[in-house]
Structure 1
Amino acid sequence: MKRWLVLIFVAIVVILIVLLIPKKEGERPIFFPKEDKIKIRLFFPDEQAEYFVVEEREVEKKEKEEDIARLIIRELLKGPTNEDLYSAIPEGTKLREIYIYEDVLYVDFSPEISNNHPGGSTGEIMTIFSVVNSLCANLTQYSVQILIDGKPQETLAGHIVLYEPLAFKKDMVK
C-alpha cells in the first residue's frame, strides 16, 4: 500500500513539473494568463483645435479588426482623460455599426453626430479626423468611410465632403 502512495505522489509531481515548465523559449506555462490587453492611440484636438494630440489607452484585446474598431470608437466617445484636450464628437452621438468591405472601414454613426454638431469647418475637420486618424493608426491599412444613419452623407456639418473614404491625416498631429 505504501508503495502505491509513493508512486502516485511521484506521478503527481512529474505531471506538475511537465505542466509548469515552458516547452519552448518564450512560451509561458499554461497556468499563467495570456496577454489580454492592447494599447490603442486616440486622437483628440488640442485646446486651440489646431492639432491632434495622441492619448494612449489600454483596452481588452480582440481578434477581429471590426471589434477593435468598435473599442476605438467607444473610447473616443468617452472623450479624453487629459483636461487640456477635448472630444470632437458631439454629445449624444452613438455608434450604430462598423464593418469592413474591400479595404474600407465603414463607421456608421447615429444622426446626432451631424444634428448636434456645433458647425464650422475647423470643428468638422476635427470631428472627422479624430475618428479617421484613431482608426487608421490602430488598424491595418484601411481608409475610413463615415456613414450617418446607415447612409453616406454629403457633409457632416456643411463643409467637408464625406462621399469618399478618407485616410490618415498626419499633418494635423502634434
Structure 2
Amino acid sequence: MKAGHPGNWRWGWSGTALAFMLLVLVVLSSGCFSNPKPADQGLPGKTAKERRPLLDDRELNQVLVYYLTQDGSYLVPVTITFTPTREVAKVAVEKLIAGPQVNGLKGVMPDGVKLRDIYILDDQQTVYVDLTKELLQLKDNGQAERAIKALVLTLTSLGNARHVQVLVEGQAVAEVGGVKLDAPLSRPATINSLLKKDNQQGVQVYFNDASASFLVPVTVALPPGATGSDLPRAAMLALLAGPPPNSGLVRTVWPGTRLLDLKIEQGLATVNLSREVTGYGGGSAAETALLNSLLFTLTQFPEIDRVQLLIEGQKREYLPEGSVIDNPLSRPEQLNFIKH
C-alpha cells in the first residue's frame, strides 16, 4: 500500500495540472484576457475591418488650411504646399494642428494636440478624425467653435467627404468647450459671419485683415440697394462699401469707387468700376489685394468663372503696379499662400 501511494499521488497531481491548463485555455479563448476592442467598435455597427485610409484620387501638393488672424477674431484660409501625396487630408490636419509658420496668424488648436488617426468607413461620406486628449483643454466656447469649425472647413473642402466626426482618444465625446460633437458635423454655411440676426440674409466678401497681409472671407448684411435675387451685384456693392465699423478689417477697394455696371454672360462677369478704383496710386500689395478680393468674391458664385475689369467703361492694359487686366481673369489657384 505504502509503495503504491507515491505513484497514486503523482498521477493525481498530473491530472489536476492538466485540467487546470485546459481551463486556462478555455478562459483565454473566451476573451476574458483579450486586448480591448478597437475604439471604432464603440461606434454603432462599425468594426475595425471597415476602416479605410482617406486618400485622394490623385497626388496633390497643396491644401487650404484655416488659421486665425493675429487677434483671434477671424478664420483665415491659407494655401500650403508640400510634397505630392494622396494623403492630403492627413497632411491638412497635421498642418492645422502645427499652426502657421509665419507672422501675423495664430493656430486654432491647443498646445499638445496630435492626430491619432484619420479614416473613413463604408459610407465614405464621413471623415473620422481621432485627436489626443489635449483637445479637451478647449474650455472657452468661442475658441472651441473656431477650432472645430477650422477642422471641418479644412476637411470638407477635400474629396467627397461631407461630414466630419471628431473623436478624442478613439472615443466619441458629447462636447468640447460647449461645442456638440456627439454627431457628425457638416460644412458650416459661413466662415466668418458679421450678421447681427440669425435670419438675416448676407453675402460673402473678402477684406484685408488688420495688417493688410491676408484676405479674410466674411459674410456681411446686404448693402442698401442690393437684393438677394442678385447676389453677385450685392457682393460687389458690399466689397466697395468696405468692412463694417469696428470689425478690425481693412477695405481692399479705394474709398469712393462706384459700381457703374455688372454683366454676367456665359461665365464671364464684366465689372465696370469708376476711376477712383486706382486711387491707391501704386503699391503692389494694395493692387494684389484689390484684384484678389474682386476675383475671390465674384468667382464664389457658380455662374462666374472669369472676370473682366473695366474702368469708366474702358479696358486698360495694366493697373498702376503693372497687373495685366486687358483680358478676363480667372480665380487665383492660391489664396493667402504660405510656403512651408
TM-score using structure 2 length: 0.36
Instruction: Specify the SS of the correspondent of 1:146.
Output: strand
**2:209–2:249 contact (8 Å) kept in structure 1:** yes
The C-alpha deviation readout for 1:70-90, integer Å capped at 9, x for no partner, is 211111111112632111111
Provide the residue aligned with 1:172 in structure 2.
335
In the superposition, relative to structure 1, how do residues 138 and 166 fare at CA in structure 2: closer, same or farther (>3 Å)?
A: same
Max Rg structure:
2
Provide the residue aligned with 1:78 in structure 2.
241
The letter of the residue matching 1:167 is S
Provide the residue aligned with 1:106 in structure 2.
270
In the superposition, relative to structure 1, how do residues 166 and 38 fare at CA in structure 2: closer, same or farther (>3 Å)?
A: farther
In the superposition, relative to structure 1, how do residues 37 and 106 fare at CA in structure 2: closer, same or farther (>3 Å)?
A: farther
The C-alpha deviation readout for 1:100-148, integer Å capped at 9, x for no partner, is 233210000011112x124111110101111111111134242111110
**2:267–2:303 contact (8 Å) kept in structure 1:** no
Provide the residue aligned with 1:45 in structure 2.
208
In the superposition, relative to structure 1, how do residues 97 and 141 fare at CA in structure 2: closer, same or farther (>3 Å)?
A: closer
Counterparts of 2:309 and 2:270 in 1: how far apart (Å)?
6
Counterparts of 1:77 and 1:164 in 2: how far apart (Å)?
22
Instruction: Specify the SS of the correspondent of 1:125.
Output: helix
The alpha carbon displacement at 1:172 in A equals 2.4
Give the count of matched residue pairs: 134
**2:309–2:328 contact (8 Å) kept in structure 1:** yes
**2:259–2:273 contact (8 Å) kept in structure 1:** yes
Provide the residue aligned with 2:251 in structure 1.
87
Counterparts of 1:150 and 1:110 in 2: how far apart (Å)?
8
Counterparts of 1:92 and 1:39 in 2: how far apart (Å)?
22
Work out which of the residue numbers 231, 241, 248 in structure 2 matches 1:68: 231
**2:228–2:234 contact (8 Å) kept in structure 1:** no
**2:274–2:311 contact (8 Å) kept in structure 1:** yes
Work out which of the residue numbers 277, 280, 284 in structure 2 matches 1:117: 280
The letter of the residue matching 1:145 is Q
In the superposition, relative to structure 1, how do residues 101 and 140 fare at CA in structure 2: closer, same or farther (>3 Å)?
A: closer
User: Unpaired runs of 5+ in structure 2?
Assistant: 1-198
Work out which of the residue numbers 272, 292, 295 in structure 2 matches 1:132: 295
After TM superposition, what 4+ stretches of structure 1 lie above 3 angstroms from structure 2? 36-39
**Counterparts of residues 143-154 of structure 1 (less than 5 Å):** 143-154=306-317
Comparing 89-98 with 37-46, greater Cα deviation is found at 37-46
